[in-house]
Amino acid sequence: MISRRAFALALAASSLAARPARANKYPTRPIKLIVPLTAGSPVDVVGRLLAQYLSTDLRQNVVVENRPGAGTTIGMKTVASSEPDGHTLLFQSSSLVVAPAMYKNLDYDPIKAFAPVANVAWGSWVTVVPPELPVKNAQELIAYARAHPNTLNFGYGQGTAPQLVGEWFNKTNGLAIASVPYRGGMQAVTDMMGGTIQLNIGTTSTLLPLIREGKIRAIAQWGAKREADLPDVPTMIESGFPGLSLGFWAGLWAPAGTPTAIVDTLNASANRVMDSAEMRAAMGRLGVSPSIGTPKDFADFIAAEAPKWQQIVEASGVQIN
């Protein structure tokens, strides 16, 4: 039986052979890749790596432009209102499906405003605290927060999935942990090491070096199973939250209305890039895994993710006007 990955690659190859003349002329100029988060964030780092390899594969420069702000909605709107010709693209994470649920007054629908191209990377989240905080797992954190109300601060990137899961954790457990928004999650980690923040949820890929150096402590992982890099850190499922499994992912979108031939060209290029030995090694060094599939695979994944995040938003009580 042919593997899913092999099928996706074969489909991408056949689409390249059969694509019409319009796609053969694409791209005709440098491609702008909008990352709606701060430079150095996990999405930005993966996006820059992808841009580097796509530039070679497409034989045209792919230039990353950071457009953070308003919980990533500013950068997303920039792409949504761009000409749908494949020369302005979006590289975004789960914030795309979070935004429609979190923001009450968006003047566009992020789900409908973009054409899914490729789900590029998978990773995991980890909850971290300062090493001096006397907690080593999620249940000890809950007990400490209840015994010391209004003394802990939760730092997060505004409008991101970690914000939601952190607020959900706070509310559903009846805790009084103050919320402190930042333009990027790593700014919160910097403040944690300075003593201002006592709780953060971020990607294992960005936090692992600090965990290994003993500058922060990992107390819980959000994946379905323990990470090989953090074998002693329990999952949230093991910590008393059955069925709770969430993770980091990031993908490539084009504005809605982009011709199918261009979407297929981009998807085929992304698949070739992600399946290369060099890219797999580079992704491994970042602590994330490459993903290969069709635009429909990505669209189906998004359709399954959106209601999940709607429920988390409702449970967390987070709403932004």
Q: What is the pLDDT of residue 24?
A: 64
Cα separation, 321 vs 28, in Å, equals 39
125-221 and 4-123+247-316 share a CATH fold = yes
CATH topology (fold) of 4-123+247-316:
D-Maltodextrin-Binding Protein; domain 2 (3.40.190)
Of the CA atoms within 13 Å of residue 225, those in its CB half-sphere come to 1
Query: Which pLDDT band, with edges at 50, 70 and 90, does 22 fall under?
Result: very low
Q: Is 17 exposed, middle or buried (0-12, 13-18, 19+ CB in 10 A)?
A: exposed
DSSP string of 201-268, one letter each residue: EEEHHHHHHHHHTTSSEEEEE-SSS--TT-TTSPBTTTTT-TT----EEEEEEEETT--HHHHHHHHH
Cα separation, 83 vs 254, in Å, equals 10
Residue 21 CA to chain centroid, in angstroms?
34
CATH topology (fold) of 125-221:
D-Maltodextrin-Binding Protein; domain 2 (3.40.190)
Please state the pTM of the whole predicted model.
Answer: 0.79
* pLDDT, average across residues 129-140: 96
Strands (E), the chain: 31-35, 62-66, 88-93, 114-123, 125-129, 153-157, 178-182, 200-203, 217-221, 248-255, 289-290
Contact 185, 202 (CB under 8 A): yes
| 31-35 and 88-93 beta bridge pairing | parallel
Domain ranges of the chain: 4-123+247-316, 125-221
Using one digit for the tens of pLDDT, what is the confidence trace for 151-195? Answer: 999 999 877 888 888 988 999 899 999 999 987 778 899 999 999
Using one digit for the tens of pLDDT, what is the confidence trace for 85-116? Answer: 999 999 999 888 888 777 777 888 888 999 99
Using one digit for the tens of pLDDT, what is the confidence trace for 259-304? Answer: 999 999 999 999 999 999 999 999 888 878 899 999 999 999 999 8
Select the more confidently predicted residue: 161 or 253.
253
